[in-house]
Amino acid sequence: MRALVYDGSKPRFEPRHPDPELAPGEAIIRPIAAGVCSTDLEISRGYMDYRGVLGHEFVGIVEKVHPDVDDKAKQLVGKRVVGSINCVCGKCDMCTRGLANHCRDRTVLGIAGRDGCFAERFSLPVKNLLAVPDTLDDDHAVFTEPLAAACNVMNMLRIESRPFVTVLGDGRLGLLTAQVLSKLNASVRVIGKHPDKLALCEKWGIKHRLLSDVSLRADQDVVVDCTGSASGLDTALKMVRPRGKVVLKTTVAEQKGVDLSPIVIHEIQLLGSRCGLFSDALAMLNGGEVDVVSLISRRVKFAESEKALATAAMPGTLKVLIEFE
């Protein structure tokens, strides 16, 4: 089959990549559409030391399931699905204490130990799959994974009594996170570098400012770093008030020395946040609570997906979708 593969040098479109094997408990999925995430870009710069098929955001159709799965899972064949990217053992200390996303033996779709979804076919455990409601189109459903990650920020924070919240970064994840947080009892603003991206906030009624227009006053109760850049944390630590919280979403392959002494001096809480609940995100998309379609900057045919990552890395671009035939 054809697949977009990272071999340690750069992403390559391979015409003859081996088909995925159908393992017990798993399904083979044919993607309809896939999204390019900043993590894909970081991986193709060496992050996670990953080799294999890239991609983890998708909506697809279940082609087949392993015969050992239960009847309910068998009914997924032919259906549209999205799927959680963490494939877990169910037995380790993390799984048994309800932290399965942190499974000690996990593989992660297109990120760690498991070929991703930028391919004609890929596999996931059936327990990872959620059927997409008929009322939700592909352009929305493909945002389930990044929206779930944005929802996770909300779940980690417990927002109360209208705090001042800054979402730092006006990229894909920043704009999703800002939309989610703006539903809560919080005063949310987005700080970014791109007037055209910030214009979306205007449309959504979310406050926004250019980073260059803002003085770093250590007055925000919460700062969510969605910059995807090594300097983001540095800025966040200057924006947050003493005893405030910084949520770190950014993972970057190359990290410069960040001065962490403000964390101690100002007793800041730094909270790492990664994946979220797909069910929450799917419900939110189906309820029309967030605008994801405005985030689609470009559509690239799968056969031309080598250039999808380069496009996604360009400053003006939000979400790049890879469309499969």
For helices 278-286 and 144-157, what crossing angle results, to 10°? 110
Tell me the C-alpha distance between 315 and 297, whole Å.
Answer: 11
Report, in Å, the least distance between residue 15 CB and a second copy.
Answer: 33
Q: Which two tokens stand for residue 31?
A: 């993607």
Which one of residues 2, 64, 102, 207 is an interface residue with a second copy (CB under 8 A)? 102
- Please choose, out of 131-139, 205-213, 260-268, 303-311, the segment that lies near a second copy by the rule CB under 8 A: 260-268
**Under rule CB under 8 A, which residues in 39-58 are in contact with a second copy?**
47
Task: Look at residue 27 and give its three-state secondary structure.
Answer: strand
Cβ closest to a second copy, residue 113 vs residue 204? 113
**Under rule CB under 8 A, which residues in 173-232 are in contact with a second copy?**
219
Q: Should residue 105 be labelled a site residue for a second copy when binding is judged by CB under 8 A?
A: no
Report, in Å, the least distance between residue 246 CB and a second copy.
Answer: 9
Tell me the C-alpha distance between 191 and 198, whole Å.
Answer: 8
Number of C-beta neighbours around residue 179 at 10 A: 24
Q: Should residue 264 be labelled a site residue for a second copy when binding is judged by CB under 8 A?
A: yes
Tell me the C-alpha distance between 234 and 227, whole Å.
Answer: 11
Tell me the C-alpha distance between 63 and 134, whole Å.
Answer: 18
Cβ closest to a second copy, residue 61 vs residue 270? 270
Which one of residues 72, 213, 261, 315 is an interface residue with a second copy (CB under 8 A)? 261
Q: Should residue 30 be labelled a site residue for a second copy when binding is judged by CB under 8 A?
A: no
- Please choose, out of 81-89, 175-183, 254-262, 317-325, the segment that lies near a second copy by the rule CB under 8 A: 254-262
Among residues 129, 157, 176, the alpha carbon closest in space to that of 248 is found at: 157
Q: Should residue 241 be labelled a site residue for a second copy when binding is judged by CB under 8 A?
A: yes
Q: Should residue 7 be labelled a site residue for a second copy when binding is judged by CB under 8 A?
A: no
Q: Which residues pair with 113 in a beta bridge?
A: 108
Cβ closest to a second copy, residue 73 vs residue 268? 268
Cβ closest to a second copy, residue 75 vs residue 255? 255
Q: Should residue 92 be labelled a site residue for a second copy when binding is judged by CB under 8 A?
A: no
Q: Should residue 265 be labelled a site residue for a second copy when binding is judged by CB under 8 A?
A: yes
Nearest-10 Cα torsion for 107, 108, 114, 119: 160
| Geometric angle at alpha carbon 29, from 281 and 94, rounded to 5° | 55
Q: Are 65 and 77 in contact (CB under 8 A)?
A: yes
Report, in Å, the least distance between residue 325 CB and a second copy.
Answer: 34
Which value, in Å, is the radius of gyration of the alpha carbons in the chain?
20
- Please choose, out of 20-28, 57-65, 135-143, 237-245, the segment that lies near a second copy by the rule CB under 8 A: 237-245
Q: Which two tokens stand for residue 11?
A: 């992403």
Which one of residues 266, 294, 307, 313 is an interface residue with a second copy (CB under 8 A)? 266
Tell me the C-alpha distance between 223 and 167, whole Å.
Answer: 6
Q: Should residue 268 be labelled a site residue for a second copy when binding is judged by CB under 8 A?
A: yes
Binding region for a second copy (CB under 8 A): 47, 93-94, 99, 102, 156, 219, 233, 241-243, 248-252, 255-274
